[in-house]
Amino acid sequence: MADQKNQYEVVWPSGKSGVKKGLLAPRLEDLEGKTICELSHDSYRGDDIFPVLRESLRKRYKNIKFVEYDTFGNFRDPRKYGAELEKLPGLRDLMLSHNCDAVIAGMGA
């Protein structure tokens, strides 16, 4: 007979996902000649990180272009930490106006 006092409730780690699945955008084959838009929120160290990323990518792709993160401003509402990133009104159109092919989104602190 099993000892009742040594029983534990277990939570299955592969339970239901709370995230809706969606299709991913197709990946670019190459960044040569592409325009990369940078997004950042105020907690990210964009002044430190983005220049390093740009330098590294320019060594690999000679004709790469960047639209720097300060063009777009802070894309996250600091009052909603932990919440889903809000859709910045007009962001899509602003990216299209800069011929954005890909995005580097800087988040975190």
Domain segments of the chain as ranges: 29-106
φ and ψ at 35, to 5 degrees?
-105, 125
| CA gap 105, 98 in Å, rounded | 16
Q: What is the pLDDT along the chain (109 residues), one digit of tens a residue?
A: 455 677 777 777 776 767 778 888 889 999 999 999 998 877 678 888 899 999 999 999 999 999 998 888 777 655 555 444 455 667 788 889 999 999 998 877 6
The predicted pLDDT at position 83 comes to 47
Do the beta carbons of residue 64 and residue 38 sit within 8 Å?
Answer: no
The predicted pLDDT at position 11 comes to 74
The predicted pLDDT at position 87 comes to 57
